[in-house]
Amino acid sequence: MARTLNEILESEKPEVVRKAGEKADAIILDIHLAEIRTLLAKTQVDVAQALGVKQPTVAGMERSGQDLRLSSLKRYVEALGGKVSVDIELPDGGHHSFSL
């Protein structure tokens, strides 16, 4: 019988699970930046012009494994006409949100 993902994760070393989670989070962030740009029918060149940088800089921001600063993320999203807000989930399950 096949094991569930939770069963597999429970049998792994905590450090392995933590590192895999960190990599997954980074990949998700990278995918979302490109997805947001694509949803708005913008090219990397369009975003680069709005930011006052060259296209390779935007490609670098979208590259897998990039650790963007919040200020860079804010500038990227604002270049697309959007706004950034942060939602922090607290240990007790509560949330604290604010706009950047």
What local confidence, expressed as pLDDT, does residue 90 receive? 86
Taking Cα atoms as reference points, which of 45, 51, 49, 42 lies closest to residue 73?
A: 51
- The pLDDT tens digits for 13-32 are 888 888 888 888 777 777 78
Domain parsing of the chain, residue ranges: 13-99
Rounded to whole angstroms, how far apart are CA atoms 20 and 17? Answer: 5
Give the CATH number of domain 13-99; options: 1.10.260.40, 3.40.109.10, 1.10.150.120, 3.50.50.60: 1.10.260.40
Average pLDDT of 75-99?
91
Give the mean model confidence (pLDDT) for residues 76-98. 91
Averaged pLDDT, 85-90: 89
pLDDT in tens, 30-82: 778 888 999 999 999 999 999 999 999 999 998 876 778 889 999 999 999 99
